[in-house]
């Protein structure tokens, strides 16, 4: 069995050494853009070059080093019949839930107000929040979205969930499909985006969508930058349709110097850190699936490339 690591890491040994330890029966190779084909059986990738699929024509499956596979699906010559496997959790969902909770508390508990009072030496207590005034809507009910929704519901926030298909989740009111999106938005004040990026979800978060949220609305985007129409977000803030946005993902990363988001006090910017890939958990999952696939056992996390997730 030959396994090819294709991720552009300047220190690939950080990955290949533990891969060899976890999968001793495999030959592990690092992608060389100028090298010959090795007839790899499996590839572990992150945003691989198109040349990979031109050269390595014997691949049985490709394993993505992340839950979001839009970068992989953009490769123009990705074989239609190749098994594509996404990363399932590997410690990311709890990180995402922490991040979303932090951003929600910043808004609902008014923590910036207390920081400003500290700067001014002011001791003043504001009234406790009513969680009923802060209904949360989670768009996307995959593994990460469900973890986020459950975490917030466990803290007694009223949580709504919306996805393309039907879902049942204890403590969460769920909506499905385009026909129920408007109802979902009207029941939501804090909109959390965890959707995958597909043709249907690209630029979904526009002025029209944001205008349907409850007064005093907040956006937390941890999905993809391409979900958001940036000009529409600024317009919604200017017109008071939205009072705050926490953004961890952007159309172009790093966010360019001089981008208008940098100058807006209502926008919290973080550099795509809401959920970082944990190397040990990731490699344990991927190598286990490679072994199962090689031995003919069923594996989870296979992507429907037609749907984009």
| Catalytic positions | 224, 272
3-state secondary structure of 15: helix
CA atoms within 13 Å, Cβ hemisphere of 290: 29
Closest CA to 290 of 109, 103, 141, 83: 83
Sign of the alpha-carbon torsion through 71, 75, 80, 83 = negative
Phi and psi of 129, rounded to 5°?
-75, 155
3-state secondary structure of 163: strand
Beta bridge partners of 64: 45
DSSP code at position 179: G
**Using CA atoms, how far apart are residues 137 and 233, in angstroms rounded to an integer?**
17
**Using CA atoms, how far apart are residues 140 and 46, in angstroms rounded to an integer?**
22
Tokens of 93: 């969902």
Whether 149 contacts 162, CB under 8 Å: no
- Helices marked H in 109-141: 111-120
| Residue carrying the six token digits 């123009």 | 76
* Angular region, 140: left φ>0, alpha ψ -120 to 50, beta rest: left
The Cβ of residue 193 has, within 10 Å, a number of other Cβ atoms equal to: 24
Whether 84 contacts 134, CB under 8 Å: no
**Using CA atoms, how far apart are residues 81 and 99, in angstroms rounded to an integer?**
36
């Amino acid at each position: 069995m030959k396994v090819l690591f294709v991720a552009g890491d300047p220190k690939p040994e950080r990955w290949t050494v533990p891969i060899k330890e976890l999968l001793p029966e495999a030959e592990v190779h690092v992608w060389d853009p100028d090298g010959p084909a090795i007839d790899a059986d499996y590839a572990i990738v992150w945003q691989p070059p198109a040349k990979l699929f031109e050269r390595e024509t014997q691949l049985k499956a490709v394993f993505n080093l992340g839950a979001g596979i839009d970068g992989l699906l953009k490769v123009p010559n990705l074989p239609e019949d190749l098994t594509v496997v996404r990363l399932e959790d590997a410690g990311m969902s709890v990180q995402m839930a922490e991040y979303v909770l932090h951003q929600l508390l910043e808004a609902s508990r008014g923590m910036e107000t207390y920081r400003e009072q500290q700067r001014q030496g002011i001791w003043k207590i504001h009234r406790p929040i009513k969680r009923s005034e802060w209904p949360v809507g989670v768009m996307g009910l995959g593994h990460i979205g469900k973890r986020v929704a459950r975490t917030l519901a466990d803290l007694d926030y009223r949580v709504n969930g919306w996805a393309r298909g039907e879902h049942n989740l204890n403590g969460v009111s769920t909506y499905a499909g385009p026909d129920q999106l408007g109802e979902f938005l009207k029941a939501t004040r804090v909109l959390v985006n965890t959707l995958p990026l597909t043709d249907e979800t690209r630029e979904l978060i526009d002025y029209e969508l944001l205008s349907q949220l409850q007064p005093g609305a907040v956006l937390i985007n941890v999905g993809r930058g391409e979900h958001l129409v940036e000009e529409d977000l600024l317009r919604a803030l200017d017109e008071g349709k939205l009072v705050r946005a926490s953004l961890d993902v952007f159309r172009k990363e790093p966010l360019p110097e001089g981008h208008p988001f940098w100058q807006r006090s209502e926008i919290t910017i973080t550099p795509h850190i809401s959920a970082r890939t944990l190397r040990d958990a990731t490699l344990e999952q991927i190598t286990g699936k490679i072994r199962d696939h090689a031995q003919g056992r069923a594996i989870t996390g296979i992507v429907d490339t037609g749907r984009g997730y």
